[in-house]
Structure 1
């Protein structure tokens, strides 16, 4: 989300261009369909154009703002929630109904869900998407089948239900209770989705109505906000508070929720402020967010935790940057107070409900892409700060781990990682050990901004890989304000070369299968490893081999992202390089060159040595390969059938004709179904 002040040129009509600048409000009707109003669906179906409404500032660069306005409720809307797939929005209203709406078009989904006999305060989608829970003044929580639109269950209480929330595993519902003479008033309670009954004693501690309840992402904690001006964090299993009540608001705490990584809590209050808290110790983070001119009714984190959105009685929805605490925009489409806000799972939309009876869904973010070429530097030079390059990575989608760990890492120790480069052993706030690979950006050559973008994109793709034999990039940090730090899980067993020295009796066939399986996963996603060898394979505490240290060619091109000096001593990759690379027949590494390196790595697993151990220099290796000389069969491989098949598989990987080498999938198949069972 760009900083305030950017301009957006938006084609309003075929012959007219309007300029929108942050801080201005413009109410106009245009001929283009920027906003769809569900009340106009009937006219639209008959061939008439939909009602067009557009009226707020747009600081987002290069994005055409789309907005859908849903009308159908006959009284105030108190709650909105996106479905897990982001395709629909549920709403609860003072008209006693729950409704479902299409998130991207001007249509409702089915008929209103009727059953409550009083106002509906809260709605929540099951993470499975099959149920909606609603809490009401009629002292019930009702479950609705999203496929049939029918009520599928009811939980009877003895008090008002101001808030309901599904647990991440979809098995529990937490509720927040309001005024009642019942002993469960002012409490948080857990309900079983299957049993439709309370499954815990009330969580007691608040002294006034509880307005909000929300689970942590792992389901072990709850956060609640109350009219007693406090926020409480609960242990779900034990039903007790984990830290002292969070105090700071001077009026009702209307809404509170965990950040996606559970490191922070955001809250809003009738005192007109939004506050950010440290979820571990309850400490206040920074200053209160101030800007709303009335009560703040709702607040929600974006999926990545970079932004929060708030809605208030001043009729506005306001996004805030959690890194700076600054408001980055303001939307004023509602003509009465905003009671509820929710980010879509993709983070590109914010839905809101209001006393004006409407549900509005507006697009606020693009795909986290870079600014247009007009707003981005053409060349990245040595004058580009480390923070700017870090922002490139963050905007490409790499997770900023600054909230989960101290970026200074004063107690971190440098580890001699050989081929890894500068690796530091650090810790997350939760105590987990992590590896921090430090890149520095001094002494680099100018390169195109597009190259930096591509490098960041490839790091992002690495972070998205999810496979038991891929060492995933967890995120990035600004390490000690000097380096780009890539953060991954710490592996106590080190690299595969170290592991084999420590555990000479390890199952080497199994390790070959691990590596081939990880490579198969990468190739299935059109990703080339580019630097496969034992030094770049890490081994977990339970002996699982994982591919790491990918040699993305674009990262080499982006010399501004060069490894720090001590990494330059890493052993060369000549001994694992395919002939077509060494002889410069091709200039880019391919899946076929990966297969050649896989064969060499499997050889390395059995011998414990780099390929061609008798060649002392790289030029000697190149001349040997040029002559077509393959490695000799190692004595570590016996003469039995299993060993013969293994040697034959390696030889296939070294075929001089790259197109005749097996695929990674074929290697896995040979290992799993033939060699390992021989």
Structure 2
């Protein structure tokens, strides 16, 4: 597949947030996702009517992390310095507030079959909550620098965590025993993503290097790409697993071949009227293969990705 075969068209710009938009997460419906950012507003969007965002919750501090529990119609909000709020999406009300150390919350991941919710925190701890009651079970601390990002591998029952001490640590998701420390990055690790088949782990961060780790060979490094000019903020796979996208502080989004790691498309301001500042998070929806991005420029963009 050659790069020019991928056609990208911006189909919507979603406005309504009045500060940087930091995070996007999917719901059970491929057309519906949630956003949050510096203004403390948590908004639900429907790709079938993208201009009508609905306020789900408003909290008093900025939000870097959201996590949906679709089977229970709940949304977890990582409220910086104020712990985790559990929102009932039906009634739009707070069911529970989980007090945690008063630090930033950078990511939340849920493993319902393990009965656990993992929360990555600015003091280097991973808070482990019960996914039933949301009570704090334990705090795992392997670094005094921020735990920035989380990824769960359902095939190996492993939890990968990227830290600001430049390392990726891989834990047993059930016992929380530390299994591997991956030490190739030269700066903070902001994003980790397992391939949909669980065989690879991708990591990226402030050193702008996209690194590839072979899960089946004890996370041996397979190679790296200098993927962006500045920090890689997020990595997400396409619904079919054949492509992935990265976004960066350099204001661009890039689409890659997941087998060959070849760059297929650059989406930026000059070519595509993309974001004017850092692109913080992506969500690649099965709804018409649409890619959604959010930015410090306070907007969310919806892209139609035609892979030819």
Kindly indicate whether residue 60 of structure 2 is the aligned counterpart of residue 124 of structure 1.
Answer: no
Say how many residue pairs are matched: 301
TM-superposed CA distance for 1:89, in Å, is 1.3
Stretches of structure 1 lacking an aligned partner (at least 5 in a row)? 7-58, 179-184, 372-678
Q: Tell whether the 8 Å contact from 1:337 to 1:356 is kept in structure 2 after alignment.
A: yes
**Pairwise CA distance, 1:170:** 8.8
Structure 1 counterpart of 2:33: 89
Q: Which residue is 1:348 aligned to?
A: 289
Q: Secondary structure at the match of 2:92?
A: coil
Match of 2:90 among 131, 147, 152: 147
Change (3 A) 1:346 1:242: farther
1:146 to partner: Cα distance? 2.3
Question: Cα deviations across residues 444-466 of structure 1 (Å, max 9, x unaligned)?
Answer: xxxxxxxxxxxxxxxxxxxxxxx
Residue 188 in structure 1 maps to residue 126 in structure 2: yes
Determine the structure 2 residue equivalent to 1:325. Answer: 261
Q: Matches of residues 132-531 of structure 1 in structure 2 within 5 Å?
A: 132-158=75-101, 159-167=103-111, 169=113, 171-178=115-122, 185-199=123-137, 201-218=138-155, 220-243=157-180, 245-280=181-216, 281-286=218-223, 288-332=224-268, 333-345=274-286, 348-365=289-306
Return closer, same or farther for 1:65/1:77 CA change in 2, 3 Å cut-off: same
Answer with 1 or 2: which has the greater Rg: 1
Report the CA distance between 1:162 and its aligned residue. Answer: 1.2
> Matched residues in 2 for 1:134 and 1:122: separation?
6
The CA deviation at 1:107 is 2.9
Cα distance in 2 for residues equivalent to 1:103 and 1:171: 31
Q: How far apart in 2 are the matches of 1:127 and 1:349?
A: 20
Point out the structure with the larger helix share: 1
Aligned to 1:80: 24
- Is the Cα–Cα contact under 8 Å of residues 337 and 355 in structure 1 kept in the other structure? yes
Deviates more, 1:116-125 or 1:145-154: 145-154
Deviation at 1:99, TM superposition (A): 1.0
Contact 1:120 1:135 in 2 (8 A): yes
Q: SS in structure 2 opposite 1:293?
A: coil
Which of 30, 42, 47 is the matching residue for 1:103?
47
Instruction: Assess if the C-alpha contact under 8 Å between 1:127 and 1:166 holds in 2.
Output: no
Contact 1:300 1:310 in 2 (8 A): yes
Per the alignment, do residues 169 and 90 of structure 1 end up closer, same or farther by CA in structure 2, a change over 3 Å counting? farther
Hey, what does 2:12 align to over in structure 1?
Answer: 68
- Are 1:168 and 1:217, in contact at CA under 8 Å, matched by a contact in 2? no
Q: Secondary structure at the match of 1:128?
A: helix
Instruction: Measure how far apart 1:166 and its partner are.
Output: 2.0
TM normalised by structure 1 equals: 0.42
Report the Cα offset of residue 65 of structure 1.
Answer: 3.4
In structure 2, distance between residues paired with 1:176 and 1:318: 26
Measure the CA separation in 2 of the matches of 1:65 and 1:161: 33
Deviation at 1:205, TM superposition (A): 1.6
Offset, 1:320? 1.1
Task: For residue 190 of structure 1, give the secondary structure of its aligned residue in structure 2.
Answer: strand
Contact 2:156 2:198 in 1 (8 A): no
Structure 1 68/104 Cα, relative in aligned 2: closer, same or farther at 3 Å? farther
CA distance in 1, matches of 2:292, 2:129: 27
Deviations 1:180-221 (A, max 9, x none): xxxxx312122113312112x222223410111122235822
Alignment partners' CA distance in 1, 2:279 and 2:195: 22
Q: Is the 8 A contact 2:21 2:36 kept in 1?
A: yes
Alignment of 1:581-600 (within 5 A): none
Supply the distance in 2 between the matched residues of 1:234 and 1:170 (Cα, whole angstroms). Answer: 13
Q: C-alpha separation between the residues in 1 aligned to 2:156 and 2:89?
A: 23
Contact 1:128–1:170 at 8 Å: present in 2 too? no
Q: Which secondary structure does the structure 2 equivalent of 1:330 belong to?
A: strand
DSSP-derived class of the 2:266 partner: coil
Cα distance, 1:112 vs. partner? 4.6
Equivalent pair of 2:22/2:64 in contact (CA under 8 Å): yes
Q: How does 1:507-656 map to 2 (within 5 A)?
A: none
Question: SS at the partner of 1:5?
Answer: helix
Give the distance between the partners of 1:319 and 1:127, measured in 2 at CA: 28
- 2:172/2:179 contact within 8 Å kept: yes
Q: Distance in 2 between matches of 1:170 and 1:122?
A: 21
Shift of 1:232: 0.9
- Is the Cα–Cα contact under 8 Å of residues 303 and 347 in structure 1 kept in the other structure? no
Is contact 1:165-1:173 (8 Å) kept? yes
